[in-house]
Amino acid sequence: MPEGVAVSESAVLAGAPVTAAGARTRLVRRILKNRSVVIGGSVFLLLALVALFADALAPYNPTRLYPGQRLKPPSMQNLLGTDEFGRDIASLVLHGSRVSLLVGGVTMILTSLGGVVIGLIAGYYRRLDIVIMRLMDGLMAFPAILLAIALMAVRGPGVWNVIFSLSIVYLPRTAMLIRSTALSVRELDYVLAAQALGRGGLAIAFRHILPNCMGPLLVQGTFIFAYAVLAEAILGFLGVGVPPYVPSWGNVIASGKNVIREAFWVSAFPGLALTIAGLSLNLLGDGLRDTLDPRLRRE
Amino acid sequence: MLVVVTVVFLLIHLIPGDPVAVILGPEANAQQIEDARRELGLDRPLHEQLLRFYARLLRGDLGRSYFLDRPVTQALWERAEPTLVLMLSALVVAVLIGVPSGIVAGAYQGSWWDRGLMTLALLGVCVPGFWLSLNFIYLFSVRLGWLPVAGYASVFQDPVAAGRYMLLPAVSLGFNQSALIARIARSCMIEVLRQDYIRTARAKGLAERSVIFLHAFRNALVPVVTVIGITMAILIGGAVVTEIVFNIPGLGRLIISAILRRDYPVVQGVVLLTAAAYMLINLMVDVVYAYIDPRIRYA
């Protein structure tokens, strides 16, 4: 039994919230020793800062059109060149990070919250389990991107509609993960002890089972963040994501597709940004999984 | 499957926008719209439409396209070939690159081969496929002029042209998946090489090469088969995007244009077909799994 979990279990058993401070600092220290967590995390942090200060960093207004500056190659004036409307690519890429991180972050939060509620209910109340899981199976029966496209067709373009659609698409994965973790945890003795102490079902599910699902949830959340960022770009690229006038990486790549013969830089740089974002999140997720998953830990 | 069918139906009919108005154009008067709605059966209540939909589906009838003036099944049949060819060639690319690199990396864990291949695989997981396609188009078609920019030729009519058209789409679609396969194959290989029978094989003096290829390879392959199944499923979604980039007249382009024109029966048909294919693939994976690994027997 790994150290962190063991300590929190006894804390939970005593009815106290999980505040085993010593164990927690040790856990944080171990996570920070992982190289991919550090690299992925810092790159991601940098991206978040860029998104936050995009206004100050961007040399031009990304939505302002300069018809005289169409399709200029990268130069000192426009570091990454301009697109077919004369918009500055560097400014578009900087501002595009906002849409990507907003969609990724909110989708991660929504799928985690929804997944926890659905997963715990399914994992703890066996009768509801069958109904809920059939429904999740139904949603999982579609290829993710196809379901997202279909949902976007229902909702129409818009940032919040993208978030809504992607949350529906990725919700079943988190719900199933939480359910399977809950199913294995609920057989442990301390849950029996809590039941013997007269705790109600929901209290046990949320206060005693949930803390043990946090590790897998965090790992899964990081990967869903990465999927959502990519899926947002794909939807934008297909023309069914955020509206075309909003600077997002997918939209800029889509406009670059039409001018690829004359101006490769229009699609190249936002794609590079997308790759870097995906890389940092995947590194972070891999690293977190290695440190948080007790089965994979090499010590 | 019933859940899937119902979900598809409801999803499609919740799309706002009137197909009749789109078919007849802005000049149609109210009477014409009313007639057309009656002809298409869209004036009935939703539950009645749903029941008729079930009944027709049981007879293998997916309805007629509002725009293409032919039964949906025929439209699906016409568009299936390019998508199938694309998926199969991408799968071949993914397996040919993925399995050997994963096996080599796993067999020589920690070596430079391992590190190089896994860095490449991490990149491969994170590079967005559609952006990779654009870069390929720029490099091989626009710059070098070796391959056509986009288009499609039937394998049965002109195999050489078909190959030239299909090469870039297949590689860019398959590359992401090959990275996934390589990572799984590597971890399976590492897992297998830790088993007792591998130690026995080494202890009895077998050459390292035959240990890896005769004893470890076959056993490492079992989980890889599952991943190849998942890959097929992901390829269905990826094919949609790739078809748009390369202008391939397959099911992906069919559904995108159908969504934009509110052609309900076609959207329904494509989504049902992919969901059915998805389930069939999962079933096949289970069967193949039992065949490869004699320890698995279904009661």
Q: What is the pLDDT of residues A126-167, one digit of tens each?
A: 788 888 887 787 777 777 888 888 778 777 788 888 999 899
Contacts of A274 in chain B (CB under 8 A): 128, 131
Q: Is B153 exposed, middle or buried (0-12, 13-18, 19+ CB in 10 A)?
A: middle
Tally the C-alpha atoms within 13 A of residue B268's C-alpha that lie toward its C-beta: 29
Given pLDDT bands bounded at 50, 70 and 90, which one contains residue A2? very low
| B11 contacts A253? CB cut-off 8 A | no
Residue with tokens 């695989």: B121
Q: Is A268 on the interface with B (CB under 8 A)?
A: yes
Contact between residue A48 and residue A101 where contact means Cβ atoms under 8 Å apart: yes
Give yes or no for residue A110 having a pLDDT over 90: yes
Given pLDDT bands bounded at 50, 70 and 90, which one contains residue A17? very low
Q: Is A43 on the interface with B (CB under 8 A)?
A: no
pLDDT of residue A105: 92
pLDDT of residue B295: 66
| A264 contacts B131? CB cut-off 8 A | no
The per-residue b/e assignment along A210-239, b for 16 or more CB within 10 angstroms, e otherwise, is bbbbebbbbbbbbbbbbbbbbbbbbbbbbb
Residue with tokens 């509620």: A117
Q: Is A96 exposed, middle or buried (0-12, 13-18, 19+ CB in 10 A)?
A: buried
Q: What is the mean pLDDT of each run of 10 residues along chain B (299 residues)?
A: 67 59 63 68 68 69 70 79 85 86 80 82 81 80 70 69 75 85 83 78 74 73 77 80 82 81 76 80 77 62
Distance linking the first and last C-alpha atoms of chain B: 22
Nearest C-alpha of chain B: how many angstroms from A183?
23
- Which of A56, A15, A80, A119 is closest to A256 using CA atoms? A80
Contact between residue A179 and residue A116 where contact means Cβ atoms under 8 Å apart: no
Nearest by CB to residue B241, choosing from A134, A238, A256, is A238
pLDDT of residue A106: 94
Nearest by CB to residue B4, choosing from A141, A267, A271, is A141
Contacts of A145 in chain B (CB under 8 A): 237-238, 240-241
Nearest by CB to residue A143, choosing from B137, B244, B278, is B278
Contact between residue A145 and residue B238 where contact means Cβ atoms under 8 Å apart: yes
- Pick B109 or A106 by higher pLDDT: A106
Interface mutation vs chain A, best among B3, B131, B175, B278, most A CBs within 10 Å: B131
Q: Is A258 on the interface with B (CB under 8 A)?
A: no
Q: Is A44 on the interface with B (CB under 8 A)?
A: no
| B122 contacts A279? CB cut-off 8 A | yes
Q: What is the mean pLDDT of residues A253-269?
A: 79
Nearest by CB to residue A264, choosing from B7, B15, B138, is B138
- What are the φ/ψ torsions at residue A88 (nearest 5 degrees)? -80, 120
Least confident residue range of A46-55, A67-76, B130-139 = A67-76
Given pLDDT bands bounded at 50, 70 and 90, which one contains residue A15? very low
Contacts 24+ apart (CB under 8 A), B139-147: B140/B168, B141/B168, B142/A260, B142/A261, B142/A264
Q: What is the mean pLDDT of residues A106-127?
A: 88
3-state secondary structure chain B: CHHHHHHHHHHHHCCCCCHHHHHHCCCCCHHHHHHHHHHHCCCCCHHHHHHHHHHHHHCCCCCECCCCCCEHHHHHHHHHHHHHHHHHHHHHHHHHHHHHHHHHHHHCCCCHHHHHHHHHHHHHHHCCHHHHHHHHHHHHHHHCCCCCCCCCCCCCCCHHHHHHHHHHHHHHHHHHHHHHHHHHHHHHHHHHHCCHHHHHHHHCCCCHHHHHHHHHHHHHHHHHHHHHHHHHHHHHHHHHHHHHHHCCCCHHHHHHHHHHCCCHHHHHHHHHHHHHHHHHHHHHHHHHHHHHCCCCCCC
Nearest C-alpha of chain A: how many angstroms from B244?
8
Q: Is A132 on the interface with B (CB under 8 A)?
A: no
Contact between residue B238 and residue B250 where contact means Cβ atoms under 8 Å apart: no
| A154 contacts B122? CB cut-off 8 A | no
User: How many other CB atoms are there within 10 angstroms of residue A10's CB atom?
Assistant: 11
| A257 contacts B15? CB cut-off 8 A | no
User: How many other CB atoms are there within 10 angstroms of residue A153's CB atom?
Assistant: 23
CA atoms of A236 and A114, how far apart (whole Å):
25
Interface mutation vs chain A, best among B134, B241, B259, B262, most A CBs within 10 Å: B134
The ipTM, to two decimals, is 0.73
Nearest by CB to residue B7, choosing from A138, A156, A274, is A138
Contact between residue A253 and residue B130 where contact means Cβ atoms under 8 Å apart: yes
Q: Is A201 on the interface with B (CB under 8 A)?
A: no
Give, in degrees to the nearest 5, the angle at Cα A94 between A92 and A98.
Answer: 100
Which tokens hold the place of B218?
Answer: 């076959």
Contact between residue A194 and residue A171 where contact means Cβ atoms under 8 Å apart: no
Give yes or no for residue A97 having a pLDDT over 80: yes
* pLDDT tens column, A208-242: 778 778 888 888 899 999 999 988 888 888 888 88
Given pLDDT bands bounded at 50, 70 and 90, which one contains residue A109? very high
Interface residues from chain B to A (CB-CB < 8 Å): 3-4, 7, 11-12, 14-16, 122-123, 125-128, 130-131, 134-135, 137-138, 142, 233-234, 236-238, 240-241, 244-245, 255-256, 259, 267, 271, 274-275, 278-279
**pTM over 0.90, yes/no:** no
Nearest C-alpha of chain A: how many angstroms from B142?
6
Interface mutation vs chain A, best among B5, B126, B173, B256, most A CBs within 10 Å: B126
3-state secondary structure chain A: CCHHHHHHHHHHHCCCCCCCHHHHHHHHHHHHHCHHHHHHHHHHHHHHHHHHCHHHHCCCCCCCCCHHHCCCCCCCCCCCCECCCCCEHHHHHHHHHHHHHHHHHHHHHHHHHHHHHHHHHHHHCHHHHHHHHHHHHHHHCCCHHHHHHHHHHHHCCCHHHHHHHHHHHHHHHHHHHHHHHHHHHCCCHHHHHHHHCCCCHHHHHHHHHHHHHHHHHHHHHHHHHHHHHHHHHHHHHHCCCCCCCCCCHHHHHHHHHHCCCCCCHHHHHHHHHHHHHHHHHHHHHHHHHHHHCCCCCCC
Nearest by CB to residue A154, choosing from B4, B14, B125, is B14
pLDDT of residue B12: 61
CA atoms of A225 and A282, how far apart (whole Å):
9
CA dihedral angle for residue A92, residue A98, residue A100, residue A103, rounded to 10 degrees: -150
CA atoms of A117 and A85, how far apart (whole Å):
46
